[in-house]
Structure 1
Amino acid sequence: MKILIKTAILGLLMMSLEAKNYEVKMLDLDSKNQTMIFEPAVLHIEVGDSVTFVPTHKSHWAKSVIVPKGASKFESKLDEKATFTFEKEGVYLYECPPHRIMNMLGFIQVGKAENLEQIKNAVPKLEKRAMTNQGRLEAYVKELE
């Protein structure tokens, strides 16, 4: 029994050592003069990895819009750095709520894009609501697998 417990603990430790943390910046303006943008806007990670959202200017936060079935939604607080761990495969679509009208949305693909059709179906409606940066989401979807 002790061997089984030790093996289980060792396995959990190994998994936590392999998990990575990625950073997504919330920007008013990026190096290409694109306004109200997440950098990177499309991120590919593995199950168990985490993402830290970093507001670089005031009035930003990250909030999930679409998550894979059975996954937890997430939301950071205004102007605060926040880290979330992703435990379910699929594509997560998120936004900066005050800048959604400017198409400030991003994607995190965790493992396989199991809900890609759901994401593709949502994009035209979201693009239609954008007052600026139209076409951004359609370009991002092409980066998903």
Structure 2
Amino acid sequence: MTEGTYTLVVELAAPATVEVGALGDREFRAGYYAYTGSAFGPGGFARVERHRELAAGERDARHWHVDYLLGHPDAGIDAVVRTAGADVECAVGRALAGEDGTERVEGFGASDCDCDSHLVYAEDGAALRRAVERAHGNGERA
């Protein structure tokens, strides 16, 4: 299946101020971020590869909030977990925001739904990766 929901675990090696499109300048602490998105549009999970290319500096165009974070030189994709064939973007985002040790980044990545955010922050990358896998029902790592 080429469509579904994905979560990117992003490591930010140093604190950064990033201009995030219409959201303006946002402060990001060093640590780990989990961004949950859907891949039901054209290309499906190819969107994840596009995010990887942007994080690697192989692409410049920013379309989604997470692209601005991924475009920062201190940011990189640490892990990707996905659930094929299921639109669980908001459910995964809510589950991650409820995990101990995570904090929501308000207004980020949820402009097309009524969620507060689809991005959470955590200091502990291993704990965040485990939380992402649980939120996806132990979805596949990509």
TM-score band by shorter chain is 0.3 to 0.5
Q: Which TM-score applies when normalising by structure 1?
A: 0.32
Q: Which has the higher contact order (CA 8 A, sep 6+)?
A: 2
Which of the two has higher C-alpha Rg? 1
Q: Which TM-score applies when normalising by structure 2?
A: 0.32
